């Protein structure tokens, strides 16, 4: 399914807005819960009823003020950053496939390797190396990198001469979707 560039941008913006709104709502809920817990602690610490009545009014004012001042900046939210990484990876793949006819042939062939080149077992949590586009299981590549930080792509015949780093690894959502649709 090919989507025109403008339509694709519009859809991606809609999806990003949904994720961003979810992050904002999540942040507001967590902040409200923190304020509520502080107020409950404050309320239960008072043994004197007259002081408690006065404190309830001030507590309600504090609650209203705290709720209205919740910071909703989610530009560094992990979920939003992860979404942006996924979109970037997908757009890079789309751009590569639009210019590379052999990749287009591979795509139409429907070939997705689900065997980890390191452990030789079925991939559970696929990550793609953004340098060479090879996919590994997250646990396998992470273990290798813990042992030797100067590790090159472990796929036999890979032409990449750069060392693999965790910064080069992104969740491979295409392989992940395939694995979910085709369990062992």
CA-CA distance, 101 to 66, in Å (whole number)? 57
User: Looking only at Cα atoms, what is the longest distance across the chain?
Assistant: 79
With CA atoms as reference, report the closest residue to 170 among 81, 61, 99, 64: 81
pTM over 0.75: no
63 and 4 share a domain?
yes
Q: How many domains does the chain have?
A: 2
pLDDT class for 140, splitting at 50, 70, 90? very high
pLDDT digits (tens, 9 = 90+) for 61-94: 777 777 777 777 777 888 888 888 878 877 776 6
CATH number of the CATH domain containing 110: 3.30.40.10
* pLDDT given at position 43: 63
Sign of CA dihedral 154, 160, 165, 166: negative
Q: Which of residues 65, 80, 95 is at a domain's end?
A: 80
pLDDT digits (tens, 9 = 90+) for 14-63: 888 888 888 888 888 887 787 777 777 766 665 555 555 666 677 677 77
Residue 167 lies in a domain: yes
CA-CA distance, 129 to 168, in Å (whole number)? 5
pLDDT class for 101, splitting at 50, 70, 90? very low
69 and 116 share a domain?
no
Residue 154 lies in a domain: yes
The answer to whether residues 90 and 173 touch, using CB atoms and an 8 Å cutoff, is yes
Domain residues for 109? 103-181
């Amino acid at each position: 399914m090919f989507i025109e560039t403008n339509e694709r941008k519009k859809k991606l913006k809609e999806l990003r807005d949904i994720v961003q709104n979810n992050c904002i709502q999540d942040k507001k809920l967590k902040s409200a819960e923190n304020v509520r817990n502080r107020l409950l602690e404050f309320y239960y610490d008072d043994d004197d009823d007259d002081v408690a009545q006065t404190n309830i009014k001030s507590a309600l004012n504090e609650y209203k003020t705290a709720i209205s001042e919740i910071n909703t900046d989610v530009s560094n939210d992990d979920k939003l950053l992860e979404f942006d990484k996924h979109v970037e990876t997908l757009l890079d793949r789309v751009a590569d496939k639009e210019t590379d006819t052999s990749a287009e042939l591979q795509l139409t062939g429907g070939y997705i390797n689900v065997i980890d080149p390191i452990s030789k077992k079925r991939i559970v949590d696929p990550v793609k190396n953004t340098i060479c586009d090879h996919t590994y299981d997250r646990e396998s590549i992470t273990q290798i990198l813990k042992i030797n930080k100067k590790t090159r792509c472990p796929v036999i015949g890979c032409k990449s001469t750069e060392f693999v780093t965790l910064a080069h690894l992104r969740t491979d959502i295409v392989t992940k979707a395939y694995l979910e649709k085709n369990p062992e």
